[in-house]
Amino acid sequence: MAEHILGPLYYERMGRAGPPMVFVHPNPMDQSCWLFQMAHLSTWYRCIAIDLPGYGRSPRAESGLTLADMAQGCWEAVDEAIGNPWGKGGEPAVLVGCSVGSSIVQQMVHLRPAQSAALVLSGTGYNPPEESPPAFVKARIRDYSAEGVGFRWRYTFQDLSPAFGATPLAHYFAQIFTERNDLADAPSIIHQFHALGAPRPADFFSGIGCPSVILTGTEDAAHARAFDLKTKIPRCELRVLPGAGHACHMEQPWLFDRLMIEFLTAQALFPRLDSAKQAR
């Protein structure tokens, strides 16, 4: 079991045929932020969206939480979802993450390289080691320490472009996330940010062996750093979503999904519908 997490992580599934596809959410959201991708990509994949510790219906985390703990917890959720109880020899999965989720799915590759078919990263960029912990980590620890889970409402809009943040749909998403504040746990979220601020091993990026793509919105504060990250990860591509913010998968799901499918098709990882039908 994953250390420093008080139980198995909660997940939702959609799709009963095809290869596994795993979604790991950004802060301050939960697994429901992937509802567009779950509804669409479950046509071809068994989609699994996971709540990180302290979010949604997942248990709390303890002090000492690490990136590897969260990655292990996510793999355990995948094992349960796909019927791989021993955690060995499981089917290769496409790992999709946004922001915090991007860091975690990269760590998932290091834990189980043979089970990691490809990475789809968004809302992310490269933070030089000399800037550890990054400024955003310090700011989020301060904000959650001062405001508790109530900070999630304001933080949701910081993940969105100004144009999208002004729409009723953005407010609908923020309402969904914050209606679950009674289930959320601010200390767990703070432990998560301490884990994100810890220095990475020297081979954290160079040791990623599976094909990867970065999908980055031009209105994301991390956009410029995404190009730096591309140079650090072998076999990594980058695609741009004009006008999208940090959570570009929510703002422009039609383009996010198309770019993702194009990448997976080029890697021979996009299954045909007739093969998915035969697998049922």
Q: Model confidence over 36-50: pLDDT tens digits?
A: 999 999 999 999 999
The DSSP code sequence of the chain is: --TTBSSPPPEEEE-SSSSEEEEEPPTT--GGGGHHHHHHHTTTSEEEEEPPTTSTTPPPB-TT--HHHHHHHHHHHHHHHHT-TTSSSPPPEEEEEETHHHHHHHHHHHH-GGGEEEEEEES-----GGGPSPHHHHHHHHHHHHHGGGHHHHHHHHTS-HHHHTSHHHHHHHHHHHTTTTT--HHHHHHHHHHHHSPPPTTTTTT--S-EEEEEETTSTTHHHHHHHHHHSTTEEEEEETT--TTHHHH-HHHHHHHHHHHHHHTT-S--HHHHHHH-
pLDDT tier at 277, thresholds 50, 70, 90: low
Please write the tens of the pLDDT for every residue from 102-141. Answer: 999 999 999 999 999 999 999 999 998 888 788 889 999 9
Tell me: pLDDT of 197 over 80: yes
Phi-psi region of 37 (alpha: psi -120 to 50; beta: other; left: phi over 0): alpha
Tell me: pLDDT of 231 over 50: yes
**pLDDT for position 276:** 46
**pLDDT for position 196:** 94
pLDDT tier at 274, thresholds 50, 70, 90: low
Hey, which CATH number is domain 11-273, 3.20.20.140, 3.40.50.1820, 1.10.3210.10, 3.10.20.340?
A: 3.40.50.1820
Tell me: pLDDT of 279 over 50: no
Whole-structure pTM value: 0.95
**pLDDT for position 85:** 73
